[in-house]
Amino acid sequence: MKMSLAQRVLLTWLFTLLFLIVLVLKLDETLLWNWFLVFIPLWIFDAVLLVLLTVKLVGRCKAGHERHVRRKVCYLCAVLLKLAFLLALCARLEHYAAAAAAKLSCILAPLWLLLLGAIGDLGYSTFSARTE
């Protein structure tokens, strides 16, 4: 289950375009959908990412590539943090009781953790000494 770079880019653009179209229709009040339904293109995209990452992770575990396994686990954590943020955001937008009472900082916490992880990974890959 290997996707080429062109297929991954096309898939990303397709789901982003679909999400933006549905989001504009929801904000324009043309669609009266639930916020969870508006985010369906992002849910599908994240599901595809989770399946691909899981397949690659299992393949790397069997081959014994420990360094690559750690990297894939970090990617898996990033996708799960993104999903947690989207779930909290949709719950807040739908005014569910627990989510509506939660502070905005609690809802944005997974996104902040994701961004801190991305900055840390960027700093590590930029300033670490390559021994390869």
Burial class (CB in 10 A: 0-12, 13-18, 19+), 45: buried
Q: Report the C-alpha gap between 84 and 19 in whole angstroms.
A: 18
Number of domains in the chain: 1
> Is 118 within a domain?
yes
> Is 75 within a domain?
yes
Low-confidence ranges of the chain (pLDDT < 50): none
> Is 116 within a domain?
yes
pTM of the shown model: 0.81
> Is 86 within a domain?
yes
At residue 15, the pLDDT reads 93
> Is 103 within a domain?
yes
> Is 16 within a domain?
no
Intra-chain end-to-end CA distance of the chain, in Å: 28
At residue 14, the pLDDT reads 93
> Is 87 within a domain?
yes
Q: Please report where in the chains the tokens 């390559």 appear, as a residue.
A: 130
Give the residue numbers spanning the domain of 119. 40-127
Burial class (CB in 10 A: 0-12, 13-18, 19+), 82: middle
